[in-house]
């Protein structure tokens, strides 16, 4: 049997590739494994295919390249438009916030200005309020006149009781919104309410002063005393007025009304309107009567008050003593001059406590009740005289009581 070689039976053996590099006496060699060779071949093939593809695109030119470029351009344009829109929205938001801050600042400035005006008004109104109190006026506005609308008491008003600042941070839109939407309207409502209360108070005081002055004038007229007239001298060209001018005019009218009331008060303070013996019983009136001694018709120039001997007698108005001593049928008598032709006489005293020239007031004691002179018993004979003519004292006493009730 013929001998068969190993190569013929299994085929020729695949030998590995060897790379040999010789340099001078140095020789280097590397054995390249089959799988490494396969990888290097595949990479080289892919590179050749890619290069061929790019080359074909460059060679084909127009359609493919233009499509790629157009798509990229559209994408870039879309992003740029979106960015531009976002910038516009940001600008609008920034502008709106700036406008809101400016609007709030303007509203706050307006409120501060109005508050300053109200404070200045109170400073001008203060002396008039004191003058009104001195005159005995009680303005209805102080008692919350029902005609004056009251502001709604909402929970927002509770914010006013807590400290807060109008200097809102520019970087705090929430605080800005809270101030603009909640606090400012409430503050405006309160400021307007106080301004309205001022005007209402002035109008109320003026009405009450005028009413009281009219009543006092009528009262004085009932006893024959001329009342001082209000000052009405005025003139000048017509010029339209502002709100502040209107307020000033209201203050001027109130001042005039209070001044007239003061003049009336000073006038009445000098009039003999008090009761010479408070609580004493009047036993004989003014005018015609039957004489207690002669039992014949007679004219009584005053009124008589029964009282115990020694009861203190006080003048019915401030004045100066012009007579103090024994005066015929008056017995011991004191006469007080009150000015403007008015005087009062006090007769039948048991003793005299003043001298001619003394200044007396309604709290001074000028003597004591007695029965001196033409008298049937202990009593006070009281006269009021106007320009030496006797007038009915009872009318003056009653006028004084009505005046005290005003």
pLDDT tens for the 406 residues of the chain, in order: 455 555 555 455 556 666 666 666 676 766 666 666 666 666 666 666 555 665 555 555 556 556 655 665 666 676 667 777 777 777 777 776 666 677 767 777 776 776 777 777 778 878 888 888 888 875 444 444 443 444 444 333 333 333 344 454 545 555 555 555 555 666 666 667 777 787 888 898 899 999 999 999 999 999 999 888 776 544 444 444 445 678 888 899 999 999 999 999 999 999 999 999 999 999 999 988 888 888 888 889 999 999 999 999 999 999 999 999 999 999 999 999 999 999 999 999 999 999 999 999 999 999 999 999 999 999 999 999 999 999 999 999 999 999 998 8
Distance CA 269, CA 135 (A): 12
Question: What is the sign, positive or negative, of the torsion defined by CA atoms of 216, 221, 227, 231?
Answer: positive
CA distance linking residue 284 with residue 306, whole number of Å: 9
State the virtual CA torsion across 38, 41, 42, 44 in degrees, nearest 10: 160
Cα→Cα distances 38→13, 33, 44, 47, Å? 18, 9, 10, 14
CB 398 within 8 A of CB 384: no
Beta-bridge partner residues of 382: 303, 346
Q: How far is the C-alpha of 254 from the C-alpha of 125, rounded, in Å?
A: 10
Question: Which residues face 389 on adjacent strands?
Answer: 386
Domain ranges of the chain: 16-60, 121-226+242-269, 281-405
Query: Which residue spans within 79-187 are E strands per DSSP?
Result: none
Nearest Cα residue to 347 out of 362, 360, 361, 334: 334
Dist. CA 316–CA 276, nearest whole Å: 6
Look up residue 108 and give its two tokens. 């706050």
The β-bridge partners of 325 are 333
Looking at domain 281-405, which CATH architecture does it have? Distorted Sandwich (2.70)
Instruction: Taking each helix axis as running N to C, give the angle between helix 62-134 and helix 184-222, from 0 to 180 degrees, rounded to the nearest 10.
Output: 20
| Cα 302 to the center of its chain, rounded Å | 56
pLDDT at 340: 92
Q: How far apart are CA 147 and CA 200, in angstroms?
A: 10
Residue 333 in contact with residue 353, Cβ under 8 Å? Answer: no
Buried b (16+ CB within 10 A) or exposed e, 167-194: ebeeeeeeebeebbeebbebbeeebeee
Please give the pLDDT value at position 389. 95
- For residue 255, what are its two tokens? 């001042």
Query: What pLDDT does 5 receive?
Result: 52
Alpha carbon 231 to its chain centroid, in Å, reads 31
Residue among 151, 134, 378, 138 at smallest CA distance from 262: 134
Q: Residue 374 half-sphere exposure, CB side, CA atoms within 13 Å?
A: 9
Judge contact between 298 and 285, C-beta under 8 A: no
The residue to which tokens 């005293």 are assigned: 349
Residues 6+ apart with CB under 8 A from 146: none
> What pLDDT is attached to residue 146?
40
- Helix intervals (H) in 298-341: none
Burial label, 379 (beta-carbon count in 10 A; 0-12, 13-18, 19+): buried
Q: Which phi and psi (to 5°) does residue 157 adopt? A: -65, -25
Q: What is the pLDDT of residue 113?
A: 74
Cross-strand pairs, 305: 282, 380
pTM, two decimals, is 0.59
Which residues, 6 or more positions from 235, have their beta carbon under 8 angstroms from its beta carbon? none
Residue 161: burial class (beta carbons within 10 Å; 0-12, 13-18, 19+):
exposed
């Amino acid at each position: 049997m013929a001998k068969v070689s190993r190569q013929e039976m299994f085929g020729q053996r695949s030998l590995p590739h060897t790379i040999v590099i010789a340099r001078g006496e140095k020789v280097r060699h590397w054995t390249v494994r089959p799988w490494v060779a396969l990888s290097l071949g595949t990479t080289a093939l892919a590179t050749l295919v890619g290069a061929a593809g790019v080359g074909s695109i460059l060679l084909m030119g127009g359609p493919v390249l233009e499509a790629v470029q157009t798509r990229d351009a559209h994408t870039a344009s879309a992003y740029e438009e979106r960015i531009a829109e976002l910038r516009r929205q940001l600008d609008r938001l920034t502008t709106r916030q700036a406008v809101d801050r400016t609007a709030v600042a303007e509203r706050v400035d307006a409120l501060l200005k109005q508050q300053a005006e109200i404070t200045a008004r109170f400073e001008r109104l203060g002396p008039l309020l004191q003058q009104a109190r001195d005159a005995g006026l009680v303005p209805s506005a102080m008692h919350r006149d029902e005609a004056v609308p009251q502001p709604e008491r909402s929970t927002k008003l509770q914010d006013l009781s807590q400290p807060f600042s109008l200097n809102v941070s520019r970087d705090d839109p929430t605080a800005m919104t809270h101030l603009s939407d909640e606090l400012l309207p409430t503050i405006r409502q309160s400021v307007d309410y106080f301004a309205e209360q001022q005007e209402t108070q002035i109008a109320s005081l003026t009405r009450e002063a005028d009413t009281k002055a009219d009543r006092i004038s009528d009262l004085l007229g009932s006893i024959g005393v001329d009342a001082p007239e209000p000052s009405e001298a005025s003139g000048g060209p017509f010029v339209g007025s502002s709100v502040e001018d209107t307020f000033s005019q209201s203050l001027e009218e109130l001042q005039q009304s209070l001044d007239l009331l003061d003049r009336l008060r000073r006038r009445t303070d000098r009039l003999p309107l008090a009761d010479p013996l408070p609580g004493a019983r009047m036993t004989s009136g003014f005018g015609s009567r039957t004489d207690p001694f002669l039992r014949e018709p007679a004219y009584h120039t005053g009124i008589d008050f029964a009282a115990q001997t020694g009861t203190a007698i006080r003048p019915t108005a401030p004045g100066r003593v012009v007579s103090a001593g024994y005066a015929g049928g008056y017995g011991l008598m004191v006469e007080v001059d009150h000015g403007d032709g008015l005087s009062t006489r006090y007769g039948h005293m048991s003793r005299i406590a003043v001298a001619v020239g003394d200044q007396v007031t309604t709290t001074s004691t000028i003597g004591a009740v007695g029965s001196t002179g033409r008298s049937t018993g202990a009593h006070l004979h009281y006269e009021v005289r106007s320009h030496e003519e006797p007038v009915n004292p009872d009318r003056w006493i009653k006028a004084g009581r009505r005046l005290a009730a005003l």
